[in-house]
Chain A
Amino acid sequence: MRSRHFDLLLILPAAIFTLAFLILPLARLTLEAGSGPGGLAGFFVILTEARFRNSLIVTLVLAIVTTVATLAVATVAAQTLAHRKFPGRGLLLSMLTFPLAFPGVVVGFMIILFGGRLGLVGSVTKSLIGTNVVFAYSLFGLFLGYLYFSVPRVLLTILAAAEKLDPSLVEAARSLGAGPVAIQRDVVLPALFPAMYTGGALCFATAMGAFGTAFTLATNIDVVPMLIYTEFTLATNASMAAAISIALGLITWAALVVARSRAMRDVNGG
């Protein structure tokens, strides 16, 4: 019995944290959302009203494309780095993970410096083809920004898994006649899958909800986090902002659950 009490004591800090920062605000948010003119229907406004629905679709597409691109870049890089030793490997790794240190707003500024009106790409293309190519304030700019801060996180996760992969698994597959494609499909990717899922889920959730980068870049795009911000501060429609917040949370969470169940089915060979 004493140990049971002690266990409860151990879990108390996490319980308080969950209560204070998750359950209470969520409850408050839910009440707030239900108190709008439409009542509980406020929750569905994100699906029923065209402006909100379009914004949700854009955000989802952006998050999915970002996740897929991040996973592709990180998986290739992780496999390349995992079993190779070369001078400067440590430096290269720390450079690759440097963006981890930047907040979203800084990432946004960097994209502006790169592809903004006075950016690097703009000046180069202007002198070369006479047109100032600007993409920082578009969905593409946002995509680059998300990619920039997602790749390091996902790379580190997958790299850890790739380093743990037994090289004799690949050698065994080769001795059985498997070429590079079959080895990726049957040996390497299944082994990396849990890490890819973890990394991908993190990346997707971040891309769905990231605000700093969006705030810096998305002057013309209404991604959902921007929508919440405008509803709350500019339109002072707190209940609408609350409803969209909860909807965004639920949709992100549901997407992760679906991805996870699909993923586990694939891993277990269906």
Chain B
Amino acid sequence: MNAHTANPTAARRGSSITTRRLSKTFNGVTVLQPTDLEIPAGEILVLLGPSGCGKTTLLRLIAGLEQPDGPDMIRFDGEDVGGVPIEKRNVGMVFQSYALFPNMTVAENVAYGLKIRRIGRAQREAETRRLLALVGMDEYADRRISAISGGQRQRTALARALAIKPRVLLLDEPLAALDAVLRERLRVEIGLLLREFGITAVYVTHDQAEAMAIGDRIAVMQRGRIAQIGAPQTIYHRPANDFVADFVGTMNRLEGRVAGGVLAIEGDGTHARLDVGGPDRTAAICFRPEAARLSAGEAAVAARVVASTFFGATQRLVAEVAPGRRLQLDLSSSLSFTPGQIVAFDIDPQAIIEFQQEA
């Protein structure tokens, strides 16, 4: 929702996607467990997860590159497309390897889908020019694919996928083949372009920063199912389980006995006394590195500094509450710490998360 408000005038385009008990089994191995998904028209949904979590399979099922286990599992605008082959499904695809045709120029690549649809030359050329201008590739229309850079290839691939006015746009790790600097710049660019188009998009990535920057919603996937789906803020601040918490950003975790509403861990001159309330129990209390605030008085946590890493505006401190129980804390880089020193800090009570202890 956050992103849509940035450009409220953009028209919503594309179809809604609904999956009902969508599953996929390869040679007896279920790579996608029955999955229900509602993607409203115009939404950008990011499928995030480690390799082998089923995110690419889900994307390929929506595309029509894989056959689902049963009938009527995928609908576009309420219409069952399970039996429609990819050639007729009218989906735009962007691949990690770009998959641009090397025997054609940039413009010919973009025009290819229109040529297949037997659109007349004049209209085809006008549409191609419009799309190339949109992705900032108009200067390179007559270049061969081998003569443009990785970032330009990805933008060409995006223009080619959009040229056919697809019902949905499907992107499979589109930035994974690029170097870090370019990836960071392009994820902002692609995010803006997708919003400008306002088309329903499903975007697969294993990079959580990319997911945060691009998604209206993020579906975190784990072992063939969706572990949590929600806005980036929800995923980050209110992760549904350990897996989501660890996969999206860094999460500190203190396990112990809660007595009288307080989780207490005592070390040698160090301690953690977190007021979490509730009945007596064994609990895993988690918080993000940035939830720590230096404290002068009676601090909730006093930890011994192990090391610090400079990140520019902030620094990440690794500190021990007790031997082997380490925390990561983000603090201003203007402060200086020496290993062995004890730092005292409080934790924003809003940022404390408790997970059910797994039996």
Contact = CB atoms under 8 A, between A and B. Distances in A.
Interface in A156-182: 166, 168-169, 171-179, 182
A101 B88 CA distance: 47
Contacts of A169: 99, 101
Interface in B99-151: 99-105, 108, 112-113, 116-117
Contacts of A171: 65, 86, 93, 95, 99
Contact of B92 (A168, A175, A186, A269): A175
* Chain A interface, DSSP helix/strand/loop, else mixed: helix
14 contacts: A166-B97, A168-B95, A169-B101, A172-B101, A174-B86, A176-B160, A177-B88, A177-B164, A178-B112, A178-B116, A186-B103, A187-B101, A191-B102, A267-B103
Contact of A175 (B91, B96, B103): B91
Nearest to A170: B99
Contacts of B85: 174
Given A177-B117, A269-B108, A172 B87 contact: no
Given A168-B95, A171-B65, A190-B103, A177 B116 contact: yes
B61 interface: no
Interface string B62-87: 01010000000000000000000111
Contact of B112 (A179, A186, A268): A186
Contacts of B89: 175
A179 B87 contact: yes
B161 interface: yes
Nearest to B116: A177
Contacts of B103: 186, 190-191, 267-269
Contact of A174 (B87, B97, B160): B87
Interface residues on A, range: 20 to 34
Interface string A230-270: 00000000000000000000000000000000000001110
Contact of B95 (A172, A187, A267): A172
B95 A178 contact: no
A182 B114 CA distance: 13
A7 B306 CA distance: 58
A174 B105 CA distance: 19
Contacts of B113: 176-177
Interface of A: 166, 168-169, 171-179, 182, 186-187, 190-191, 267-269
A175 B97 contact: no
Given A166-B97, A171-B93, A171-B95, A176 B102 contact: no
Contacts of A166: 97, 99
Contacts of A187: 101
Which of the listed residues A176, A178, A179, A187 has the most CB atoms from chain B within 10 Å of its own CB? Answer: A176
Contacts of B108: 269
B99 A269 contact: no
A269 B104 CA distance: 7
A166 B103 CA distance: 14
A175 B116 contact: no
B354 to A, nearest CB: 44
Contacts of A168: 95-97, 99
Nearest to A193: B103
A176 B164 contact: yes
Closest 10 CB pairs of A and B: A176-B113, A172-B99, A190-B103, A168-B99, A175-B93, A168-B95, A177-B116, A174-B86, A169-B99, A178-B116
A98 to B, nearest CB: 32
B87 A177 contact: yes
B161 A175 contact: yes
B344 to A, nearest CB: 54
Given A190-B101, A269-B103, 4 more contacts: A168-B95, A176-B164, A177-B87, A178-B87
Contacts of A177: 87-88, 90, 113, 116-117, 164
A269 B101 CA distance: 12
A178 B88 CA distance: 9
A166 B112 CA distance: 18
B97 A176 contact: no
A157 to B, nearest CB: 19
Contacts of A178: 87, 112, 116
A176 B85 CA distance: 12
B84 to A, nearest CB: 12
Given A169-B99, A177-B87, A177-B164, A182 B116 contact: yes
Interface in B305-356: none
B117 A186 contact: no
A172 B93 contact: yes
Contacts of A179: 87
A268 B101 CA distance: 12
B112 A176 contact: yes
Nearest to B160: A176
Contacts of A267: 103
A243 B85 CA distance: 61
A112 to B, nearest CB: 44
B89 to A, nearest CB: 8
Nearest to A268: B103
